[in-house]
Amino acid sequence: MNFTLKIWRQKSREAEGGFKTYAVKDIPPDASFLELLDVLNADLIRKGEEPIAFDHDCREGICGSCGLVINGRSHGPHKGAATCEQRMRNFRDGEEITVEPWRAKPFPILKDLVVDRTAFDRIMLAGGYVSVRTGGAPDANAIPIPKPVADEAMDAAACIGCGACVAACKNASAMLFVAAKVSQLALLPQGQAERVERAERMIAQMDAEGFGACSNTYACEAECPKKISVTHIARLNREFIRAKLI
C-alpha cells in the first residue's frame, strides 16, 4: 500500500511548526500506524534527514504513550483502538493522511508529534491514589464486592491516560480521564479513605492545569480507545457535590 503523509513538524515548544508532506510506499496492510512511521523514519535517516519524533512504548494499546490525531480523529479511524493498534488496512491505498499531535493548551508540543502530558500526572498526584496500608494481597473473598460493582470499577480502571478525550473535546476537557480515575476508587472499599477529598482535589487541579469544561458532546467517549463511558462523568459530578456537602 502507498500513502501520502502530511505530518506536523515542530523543532521545539518555542518554534513555529507546520505540515510537511512525505510519500511512503509498499506498506503491508497489516502494519500498524506506528510501524508506518518507523518505515518513514528509516527512510529519512538514510537520506540524512531528522526523523519524526513521536511517543510510543508498549505498542499493545496498554501504556497510553502513543497518541496522534489522524485525519482529525484521536488515534485514528478504527474505534476502540490506540494509535499503535490502528492497521493500515483501515485506510485506502493511495490515501493522503494528515497526522497531528494532540491539540490542547495543557498539552504543549515538545517536538513534532510529542506533547507534554505531565498535567495528567499532577492531577493524579492531587488525589488519584489510595494511601491506606493494605498489607499483603488478601484472599479474593476477604472483601466481598458485588460483581456488577467490580465490573464497573474495572471498566473505569481500563483508562490508560492517553489524552484522546482531551484531544477530541472542543473545550479540551479532561473530565472523562478524571472521572475514570475517581470512579474506579469511589466504587471500591479501598478507595473510601480519600473519597471525600478526591474529586474536589482532582477537579481543582484539572482546572488549574487549564483544561476546559465538559462540552456534553460525548466526543470523548466516541474517541476513547478503551471505550470509557461518560456515565463515569455523572459519578464524578456526584462525588464532587458529595465532597462539598460533607
Of the candidates 9, 10, 41, the one whose C-alpha atom is nearest the C-alpha of residue 24 is 41
Say which DSSP state 212 is in: B
Q: Are residues 89 and 165 part of one domain?
A: no
pLDDT number for residue 162: 97
- Contacts for 233 with CB less than 8 Å, ≥ 6 apart: 175, 176, 179, 214
Say which DSSP state 94 is in: T
Q: Are residues 122 and 23 part of one domain?
A: no
pLDDT beyond 80 at 9: yes
End position of a domain, from candidates 83, 110, 137: 110
Q: Which comes out higher in pLDDT, residue 177 or 129?
A: 177
Q: Which CATH number characterizes residue 228's domain?
A: 1.10.1060.10
Q: Are residues 164 and 140 part of one domain?
A: yes
- For the chain, how many structural domains are there in total? 2
Grid coordinates standing for 150? 467490580
End position of a domain, from candidates 89, 110, 131: 110
Say which DSSP state 12 is in: S
Q: How far apart are CA 81 and CA 144, in angstroms?
A: 33
Q: Are residues 152 and 217 part of one domain?
A: yes
pLDDT number for residue 112: 98
Q: Are residues 29 and 104 part of one domain?
A: yes
Q: What predicted TM-score, i.e. pTM, was given to this entire model?
A: 0.92
Q: Are residues 61 and 133 part of one domain?
A: no
Q: Work out the number of other CB atoms within 10 angstroms of the CB of residue 10.
A: 18
Cross-strand pairs, 70: 73, 99
- Could you tell me the residue range of the domain that residue 94 belongs to? 3-110
Q: Are residues 218 and 134 part of one domain?
A: yes
Q: Are residues 152 and 42 part of one domain?
A: no
Q: Are residues 142 and 55 part of one domain?
A: no
Q: Are residues 106 and 46 part of one domain?
A: yes
Q: Work out the number of other CB atoms within 10 angstroms of the CB of residue 159.
A: 22
Residue 185 one-letter amino acid = L
Instruction: Give the pLDDT band (50/70/90) at residue 140.
Output: low
Average pLDDT over residues 132-160: 84
pLDDT number for residue 193: 87
Q: Are residues 105 and 188 part of one domain?
A: no
Cα(first)–Cα(last) distance of the chain, in Å?
Answer: 60
- Contacts for 136 with CB less than 8 Å, ≥ 6 apart: none
pLDDT beyond 90 at 139: no
Cross-strand pairs, 20: 7
* DSSP class per residue in 169-183: STT-B-HHHHHHHHH
End position of a domain, from candidates 59, 75, 110: 110
Q: How far apart are CA 125 and CA 6, in angstroms?
A: 37
Average pLDDT over residues 170-192: 95
Q: Which CATH number characterizes residue 67's domain?
A: 3.10.20.30
Q: Are residues 139 and 87 part of one domain?
A: no
